[in-house]
Structure 1
Amino acid sequence: MDSYLQGSSSLSQLTIRALEDCRFLADLSFEYLSNTYATTNQSNNVLPTSQAEDFETFLSAVLTNQQTCLDGLDTIASDQRVKNDLSSSLSDDIKLHSVTLALFKEGWVPENKIRTSWPQNGRHLNFKNGRLPLKMSNKVRAIYDSARHHGKKLLQTVTNEDNVVVSDIVIVSQDGSGNFTTINNAIAAAPNNTVASDGYFFIFITKGVYQEYVSIPKNKKYLMMVGEGINQTIITGNHNENTKQLQ
């Protein structure tokens, strides 16, 4: 991918964007594989359930990244040589990492681990009766309440142990009434390399059509983005014609 990008003067813009996406996804996949290998290479025992779940997610993400790259290359019509060269290698990689994931699940995941749905407690987000229970300070709660328009209430204050801690909040609003007018600027303002105990950096996005390609750097961890609802907060990307709605 790097060699093609270095000689990109002869490539179409669609091909260049597809290759840039593939390179970004490949960097993520390399990190996921390195983390998994480093841990399993130093262990002779079955991994703890939480760690096994994380690594299973990493290996699944590698497959998703490769398939996403392959799908992007399939849209290339003007540079068939690039498409053909990389598609063959990616197809082989997908087969290899499918086997890797299967072997990992067989050899490293606890036998009694049954995962049919997202767990109802722990670190995963847990909607209750259509609402997301968040634990936040009075200051953060006041900011959220002042920004939320009329409509379905997604959040509630709870005092039990199954809540999600919010450390800070920013508002994205196209009319300038919030902290930022674009989602990417709000993401850039989030702290780097936070840990679970710090809580989530909460980005509330008011209604509107946001024409931007949202990208979350890997050092921006524990972000939560919530919009005003279906057909209210709409995000459109620049790399294709797909439209996503944030609920």
Structure 2
Amino acid sequence: MMAFANFLFIVFLLPSLEALSNVNPSEYQQELNTQALILQACSNVENLSSCLSNFQGELQKSGPPTAQSIIHAALRATLDEASRAIDTITKFNSLSISYREQVAIEDCKELLDFSVSELAWSLMEMNRIRAGIKNVHYEGNLKAWLSAALSNPDTCLEGFEGTDRHLENFISGSIKQVTQLIGNVLGLYTQLHSLPFKPTRHDHNATTTKSSSDKFPEWMTEGDQGLLKGSSLGMHVDAIVALDGSGHYRTITEAINEAPSYSTRRYIIYVKTGVYRENIDMKRKKSYIMLVGDGIGKTVVTGNRNFMQGWTTFRTATVAVSGKGFIARDMTFRNTAGPLNHQAVALRVDSDQSAFYRCSMEGYQDTLYAHSLRQFYRECEIHGTIDYIFGNGAAVFQECKIYTRVPLPLQKVTITAQGRKSPHQSTGFSIQNSYIFASQPTYLGRPWKQYSRTVFMNTYMSALVQPRGWLEWYGNFALGTLWYGEYRNRGPGALLSGRVKWPGYHIIKDARTAKFFTVAQFIDGMSWLPSTGIKFTVGLGN
């Protein structure tokens, strides 16, 4: 297949190669390198000639071929393909014969729309780079957005689990085409991002600590600052939700729906004590929303959607947040479906640069769906049984308490199931300075996807964390491509002598490697976490 692709490539390039007959060798080599990169942008795509033609057309609009213009052209071509895929999927709505299929089709449309947004953000970032606008954080942005765009098509196809797969067969070709193109763009970016525009990274001391009490963001009034310090007196809010009618709204959904769309300033919703029985789906247009409750166990959002009812896992979430810059504090997100109903998400997060402070996520299987983009959790509680921190976001958990619950008979408790599918994705889970309180025999994680990545650092592990530490997904799948690590953990469950011997498992011995998984580097936290007002540790801490 590759030989045939190369043959097509040579035929496709004949005019340009002929035109190069009179140029000097260095220009000739540069043109060959450019054409090789164009082929890479279309590698493994089913309709190669069409892809090459589209890409060349986009490249001509982008000016002289450079690393920047090649990535820019690849982004434009991929964005167009993703938009066409949405149109294709929409045509199959009428063919769905079950509720689960209908939900899966709607999921696919929303997920591909996520990818379109993330590709558009990336394109705008490339435009700023090409215009010479300085931003040392563009590398983190592009890797985060392209990583998320690559994950969404997989989630789309996963939604057809439990169907006869006939609709999946109709749309899978279009979905796989988009997946391959996005993967190619991400690979190109990874290969070329340092040529010629690699930024200078700030080097943070491994034990430096940054606290919200040192400096508050500009959007906070004195009352807001008092709130983060633990007092609600004088708190400035934009809306109040109360079950007893003493606020502006009786449901959180109403308050979110009435919040401004595409906002660039923080919009604060105070949710008074109460149990709110609603499923909240905060769409991507609802940006920079902050939910503030009265505390864990006091302000509770609860639901019981689950896979056995016909929902896709993606759609079972009691609370789903997609708008950029979401913040929640002092709240509980709960799914009460129980272990018998299998996948049942309490909180799903697709919000880039989102943060959760003193929140509790409570469920059984698949409690916290850290689906995509950059996320931060501080002093949170997470309860579950099977794969209950899962997804393909880039997430850091600090000072969190992780609890196990009783699973079904013969089930094994696994805390994480991280879904990184490409070595170029900047995703993974970093659990730092936290606590695992296992009441059942417990494993730290298992590899949901080929390049699953999770680390535990400076974390207490109770005795029922199993000596092996980690569990296979099935057979030898991903054992050589995953990246699991442990660094300076403590407690009776943290002993390393009995740990798995997989090629992808690492006992991290040096601070430099561990530092990669900290807030400053792993989620580019210094570019956005200070503006949330939530305290965080920049480096490794103690």
TM-score of the pair, normalised by structure 1: 0.66
Work out the CA distance in 2 between the residues paired with 1:37 and 1:17: 30
Structure 1 position 181, deviation (Å):
1.7
Structure 1 position 99, deviation (Å):
3.6
Residue identity opposite 2:262 in structure 1: N
Per the alignment, residue 244 of structure 2 pairs with 175
Residue identity opposite 2:345 in structure 1: N
Structure 1 position 178, deviation (Å):
2.1
- 1:114-133 to 2 correspondence within 5 Å? 128=212, 133=216
Per the alignment, residue 24 of structure 1 pairs with 110
Classify 1:133/1:229 alpha carbon distance in 2 versus 1 (closer, same or farther; 3 Å).
Answer: farther
Deviation readout 1:159-214 (Å, 9 max, x if unpaired)? xxxxxxx984322222322221222211122123322xxx3101222344433332
Classify 1:177/1:41 alpha carbon distance in 2 versus 1 (closer, same or farther; 3 Å).
Answer: closer
- 1:1-247 to 2 correspondence within 5 Å? 1-5=89-93, 7-8=94-95, 10-40=96-126, 43=130, 48-74=135-161, 76-77=162-163, 79-87=164-172, 89-91=174-176, 93-108=178-193, 110=198, 112-113=200-201, 128=212, 133=216, 136-137=220-221, 141=223, 155-156=228-229, 168-195=237-264, 199-232=265-298, 233-236=300-303, 238=305, 239-240=315-316, 241-244=344-347, 245=360
Work out the CA distance in 2 between the residues paired with 1:64 and 1:228: 35
Classify 1:90/1:114 alpha carbon distance in 2 versus 1 (closer, same or farther; 3 Å).
Answer: farther
RMSD, aligned α-carbons? 3.9
Work out the CA distance in 1 between the residues paired with 2:211 and 2:154: 30
The structure, 1 or 2, with the larger RCO (C-alpha pairs under 8 Å, 6+ apart) is 1
Work out the CA distance in 2 between the residues paired with 1:115 and 1:99: 30
Per the alignment, residue 149 of structure 1 pairs with none
Deviation readout 1:104-125 (Å, 9 max, x if unpaired)? 2443362544799xxx99xxxx
Structure 1 position 60, deviation (Å):
2.0
Classify 1:67/1:191 alpha carbon distance in 2 versus 1 (closer, same or farther; 3 Å).
Answer: same
| Alpha carbons 1:171, 1:203 under 8 Å: kept | yes
Residue identity opposite 1:24 in structure 2: E
Alignment gaps of 5+ in structure 1: 146-152, 158-165
Aligned residues with identical type, % of pairs: 25
Residue identity opposite 2:293 in structure 1: G
| Alpha carbons 2:118, 2:149 under 8 Å: kept | yes
Per the alignment, residue 369 of structure 2 pairs with none
Pick the structure with more strand per residue. Answer: 2
Structure 1 position 45, deviation (Å):
6.6
Work out the CA distance in 1 between the residues paired with 2:238 and 2:183: 39
Of stretches 204-213 and 40-49 in structure 1, the one that deviates more from structure 2 is 40-49
Q: Based on CA coordinates, which of the two structures has the bigger radius of gyration?
A: 2
Work out the CA distance in 2 between the residues paired with 1:133 and 1:84: 52
Deviation readout 1:29-54 (Å, 9 max, x if unpaired)? 11321342355368287972233333
What count of residue pairs does the alignment treat as equivalent? 213
Work out the CA distance in 1 between the residues paired with 2:116 and 2:271: 32
Structure 1 position 70, deviation (Å):
2.6
Pick the structure with more helix per residue. Answer: 1
Structure 1 runs (4+) greater than 6 angstroms displaced: 44-47
| Alpha carbons 1:172, 1:180 under 8 Å: kept | yes
Work out the CA distance in 2 between the residues paired with 1:180 and 1:22: 32
TM-score of the pair, normalised by structure 2: 0.34
Residue identity opposite 2:284 in structure 1: K
Classify 1:41/1:179 alpha carbon distance in 2 versus 1 (closer, same or farther; 3 Å).
Answer: closer
Classify 1:237/1:49 alpha carbon distance in 2 versus 1 (closer, same or farther; 3 Å).
Answer: farther
